Structure 1
Amino acid sequence: MFRTATFIFLTLLSGAATAQTVWNGIGTHSRTNGSGDIQTSDGTAVTVSAESMEQDKFVGAITSLDATALQGREVRLTGSLLVAEGTGIAALWVRADGPNGQLAFANSGASPARAGEGAQARELQLYVPSDATHLKLGVTLDAAGRVEVQRLTLTSEPAVSGDVSAYDMMAYALPIIRANALNAGKVDWSAHKAKMDASDLKQRPAQEAYGRLQTVLNALGDRHSFLQAPRQAATARTTAVASRAIESRQMQDIGYVLVPGLRGTDAAAGKAFSAELCGKIATLAPTTSKGWIVDLRQNSGGNMWPMLSGLHPLLGDGAIGANRTRDGAVTRWGARAGTTCSLDLSRSRVAVLIGPKTTSSGEAVATAFRARPDTRFFGQTTGGRATSNRTYPLPDGGALLLTTAEFLDREGQAYPQGIRPETPVSSEQDAIEAAAAWLRSVP
């Protein structure tokens, strides 16, 4: 087992004229190695590996650059990712930080690079706000294994300014946030209104508003609201990609199904996801007599509705959860049966596996199983984002995904600190084995 420090500082020096990019490791057990300069045409190569995760949600590599020369420009991060060992998924990311934290962020999580798929080219674009001080970027891997990144290159170009100004964006978005955000009461609105009235905003491009709006979202403190640039918003509307394959298997008299996250809102892809999930349950049903294990430990969210629809046989009809706004308005939601899969397993025993990676819509699915009869949770506390986001299109084609409500289970219970399992199971123990023992404990 690797016992390296949380941040591994590797500076590889050579006689070349260009500087070497310095990489730090992310995660207690990460090993990071890199060579080359990310700002040259050849780019850099970096490898991240870990033999154990334990309490780490992910491992990775990070580097930091002074953002002064990049302010007001678009940066482009390109590279080729290969998950060479393990079963995890890898992603590139880039972030612009200011004096008070994150201003802009992009990652390739909507197009994950998976093991067994070979080298995968990925590209990110990000506008660097005028008050950014540092640009941070890197690669992440969400399970033990090894990811190799080749030709990782950072370039920049002047930002393209359209007909929408930063002032237009602020004038449109601030009232929406103030009127609808779950935690709007935490924000000093007079201070943000004063920032909107800055004389130069009408001459600045729409992209400049994203950093300013991000400071408002940071002030909300919900850890769930976020912004999508036009390109990201378009991808989310036209795709729906599972973070990993749906898994299912027969464990003698128990049926096991792993439900991954699903990024994007494309209707056809969402229907295909629910049909596949429900179909796997239907295939196992005839030989499953003791109950089911629903594994949500790798479900980091996305679009909750295809997940709930695919799990309809186990969740049953009627209200299985709800959203509650800051004003107390409750909107109930249920799992709709698919046209090709309508079996009823709502009286079966179910063991739900959860953990810190279970977050956002993953927590919505977990919430739907809370207060369900003959159901027990195993694992570790979820990520603490059991809240509902509503999408608001922005004038430049981007999107504001704003946290407007909290999830409620069938009995009206909210989970602001995450969902705690009735049976805690540490990362070193076998949660599947513990769940199976409980399912078989009743004759």
Structure 2
Amino acid sequence: MGKYLILTISILFVLSCQNKKQWTYNDFFEQAFSLIEERSIKKNEIDWEVLKRTVTDSINHFQNNEDVYRAIGYTVSLINDGHSIFLSPQTPNVFTADTLPIPDIVTEIIDDDIGYIKLTGFIANVDNSRIYSRRIRESLYELDRSSIITGWIIDVRENNGGMASMMPLGLAPMFRDSLIGYHVNNKGEYFSEYCTNEYYRIEDMMVEKNSALNFNLLNKDKPIAVLISDRTASAGEMLASSFKFQKNTMTFSTPTKGLTSSLELMEFNSNAKLFLATMYLCNRDKEIINSGLNPDVECSSEKAYELAIKWLKTPYDSAYLQKESDRLWD
């Protein structure tokens, strides 16, 4: 599941065993396990005593950091939330790499008046993610200035995610409402997600500021069609969901992957990293989305493009488009 990871809102530092007189390897595991139990989205679904016993029975004694890492990885696998992942210091970590190629951002004007932008997502470190976000903003600017646009298509059918703030900040000039999402933790506490041209934040906590190209969209307040698929995952799903918080939008194609939890980064001194699912994405009614986003109009991925253009050209309601979709499927 590693390729669908997103970075989220907070970083915890967990100390690895440095001095046996002050800190044992068993203490190290106990602290890590307690943090996982406290924050996991599955906290209320798991018998943690049984899970812990299963893990500790597999390792007779914690004699070094590697024993603890195996135990943490095993714990994550038993939780089985479908999204969390533990990376030992030896595991290649894309989040610290600075050599990943930044994907192309495909844009075009369809039929002289529909702006199309395709985002495949980008799982990378903070610096490269900021570059990608800035390039999205630049591409949007060029597209917006190139024509009188009557509608937009945002294509995230092949979007596998990335940093939570990366793509919303890139497309921020499109948002009419700065509220773009809700998230809920295992205590039932809700957190509002906001994005403007200048920043991305969760509640009052500033996650990322944007000093890149800041502009007002000339073709704002136009209908927006969002193309999704079962390959739309993690932050790609959250981006698609953010448009459901905007007026006059419609999603097309098939349900998304279902990796709709937020991952919290826990870093160890040894460079081991735990990305733990700690919150679920919610819809506008604050209902949990834990099995993917359902499209407003369900159709094949290939027909989504055609139906999106039909809706943008003549704003049909979703019921009509669903009937049209069913006809196209036959």
Q: How does the TM-score come out when normalised to structure 2?
A: 0.76
- Check whether the contact 1:243–1:260 (CA below 8 A) recurs between aligned residues: no
Shift of 1:327: 1.0
Pick the structure with more strand per residue: 1
Name the structure 1 match of 2:34.
175
Shift of 1:182: 0.8
Q: In the superposition, relative to structure 1, how do residues 174 and 242 fare at CA in structure 2: closer, same or farther (>3 Å)?
A: farther
Where 1:207 maps in the other structure, the secondary structure is helix
Unaligned runs of 5+ in 1: 1-104, 111-160
Between the aligned partners of 2:133 and 2:141, the Cα distance in structure 1 is 12
The 5 Å alignment of 1:136-155 reads none
Shift of 1:163: 7.7
Where 1:311 maps in the other structure, the secondary structure is helix
**Letter matched to residue 430 of structure 1:** K
More divergent stretch after superposition (332-341 vs 413-422): 332-341
The yes-or-no answer on 1:382 pairing with 2:241 is no
**Letter matched to residue 50 of structure 2:** A
Shift of 1:390: 0.4
Where 2:178 maps in the other structure, the secondary structure is coil
Greater RCO structure (CA 8 Å; 6+ sep): 2
Q: In the superposition, relative to structure 1, how do residues 361 and 292 fare at CA in structure 2: closer, same or farther (>3 Å)?
A: same
- Check whether the contact 1:314–1:348 (CA below 8 A) recurs between aligned residues: no
RMSD: 3.0
Between the aligned partners of 2:241 and 2:315, the Cα distance in structure 1 is 24
The yes-or-no answer on 1:435 pairing with 2:319 is no
Cα distance per residue 1:211-235 (max 9 Å; x no partner): 4323322333320111122255764
Q: In the superposition, relative to structure 1, how do residues 323 and 285 fare at CA in structure 2: closer, same or farther (>3 Å)?
A: same
Name the structure 1 match of 2:121.
261
- Check whether the contact 2:176–2:247 (CA below 8 A) recurs between aligned residues: no
Identity of aligned residues (%): 23
The 5 Å alignment of 1:155-170 reads 167=26, 169-170=28-29
Larger Cα-atom Rg: 1
**Letter matched to residue 260 of structure 1:** T
Where 2:33 maps in the other structure, the secondary structure is helix
The yes-or-no answer on 1:425 pairing with 2:285 is no
Between the aligned partners of 1:222 and 1:414, the Cα distance in structure 2 is 15
Between the aligned partners of 1:353 and 1:198, the Cα distance in structure 2 is 45
Q: In the superposition, relative to structure 1, how do residues 253 and 402 fare at CA in structure 2: closer, same or farther (>3 Å)?
A: same
Cα distance per residue 1:183-220 (max 9 Å; x no partner): 122333223433437774332x4233344323322333
Shift of 1:330: 1.7
Pick the structure with more helix per residue: 2
The yes-or-no answer on 1:244 pairing with 2:103 is yes
Give the aligned length.
Answer: 285
Name the structure 2 match of 1:343.
216
The 5 Å alignment of 1:102-251 reads 167=26, 169-194=28-53, 195-196=55-56, 200-203=60-63, 205-232=64-91, 235-237=94-96, 239=98, 241=100, 244-251=103-110
- Check whether the contact 1:316–1:335 (CA below 8 A) recurs between aligned residues: no
The 5 Å alignment of 1:348-363 reads 348-363=222-237
Between the aligned partners of 2:278 and 2:172, the Cα distance in structure 1 is 25
Between the aligned partners of 1:166 and 1:431, the Cα distance in structure 2 is 54
